[in-house]
Amino acid sequence: MKRYVSIAISTAVLAFAGCAGMNETPKSTMSRRIEDVRAIKQLAADWRSAWLAGDAESLLSLYGDEPVLMPQDRPAVTGKDAIRSLYQSVLGEFDIKSEGTLMEVEASGDWGYFWSAYTLTATPKTGGTPIKSAGKSVFIVKREPGRGWKIARLMDNSDGTPADQDVR
């Protein structure tokens, strides 16, 4: 009988020992997720600041090593050099003013995303009629060792031509 009690106690100890970390894992996972979401929200804020400042290099610093930009009605733009060229062209030609709302942020492991809705006015620097746009963007982000969260993919599309904009 003593042997069976010993086995039962050993089994119970092992079972409880296996569960010991279970209360800590969800909390530490939850804490990590909260920190990740906070960091991704900061990335979104940094993106907005760099965009409004018209700073192509600051925008590029927010991208990972092998980014892909997927603008509406254009082919995908792959790599930082190609994205740099596009941003320098757009930001060199237009002054950008916009309002945006961060709609959702999520993180899981080393991947996350955020999406936002925006209204934008791009005024030609040489004069001319401003271009108005409203739309939404999805950013897929990745944690890069030693570099924090970076943009891996960005897809943007508009909601169509605003009603107050002449399209003739």
Mean pLDDT per 10-residue run, the chain (168 residues)? 40 35 57 94 96 95 97 94 96 94 96 96 95 96 95 94 53
Question: What tens digit of pLDDT does each residue of 74-83 get?
Answer: 999 999 999 9
For the chain, percent of residues with pLDDT exceeding 90: 73
Residue-wise burial string across 91-109, b where 16 or more C-beta atoms lie within 10 A, e elsewhere: beebeeeeebeeeebebee
- pLDDT score for 28: 78
pLDDT at 161: 66
Q: For the CA atoms of the chain, what is the radius of gyration?
A: 24
| Length of the chain (residues) | 168
Domains, the chain, ordered by start = 22-158 (3.10.450.50)
